[in-house]
Amino acid sequence: MSRIRIGDHTWTFDAASLELYHCMSSEADWNLALVRAGATLWLAGTVVPGPRSPEALLGAEVSVDLRSLDEVAGALLGRHVTLYPGGQDVCALRFRLAASPGGVRLAASAGCDWDRYLKTFDHDRPVDLELDIDAAVVALHPGNLP
């Protein structure tokens, strides 16, 4: 099962699929489709080194594009949010991919500061973020997406 938790709220997903491109370079880009109740949310980022095979993904370092994280979190919460994983001094979400029954496991947790101007939460403390996603690897493109 795939899920995202933000603070006290948890969402589960019906399916998750990972597609990578620029795999022949030292750093590849990825898009993760998260399907929930017929709607698709997109998380994106980079992975190093660029994987030449699905097996090469295991242990590879993943970075999440924080703009896409804000879009996914905002869609789930139903309001705008700007998250700063690790606090404003760190502001990064990185982890290593692991094997999972469905393909690869994207798992990370971080305390996140957030933009108080947006009044996303009804408190003034950081929120916990947890990703635990089992994704099928659907394609590794050597260059751009077709």
Report pLDDT digits (tens) over 58-107: 999 999 999 999 999 999 999 999 999 999 999 999 999 999 998 999 99
Tokens linked to 103: 């393909």
* Residue 39, C-beta contacts closer than 8 angstroms, at least 6 positions apart: none
pTM exceeds 0.85 for this model? yes
User: What does the DSSP assignment read for 39-54?
Assistant: EEEEEEEEEESPPSSG
Confidence band, pLDDT 50/70/90 cuts, at residue 1: confident
Angstrom distances, CA of residue 44 to CA of 21, 32, 117, 120, 142: 11, 6, 25, 22, 17
Closest CA to 32 of 78, 76, 63: 63
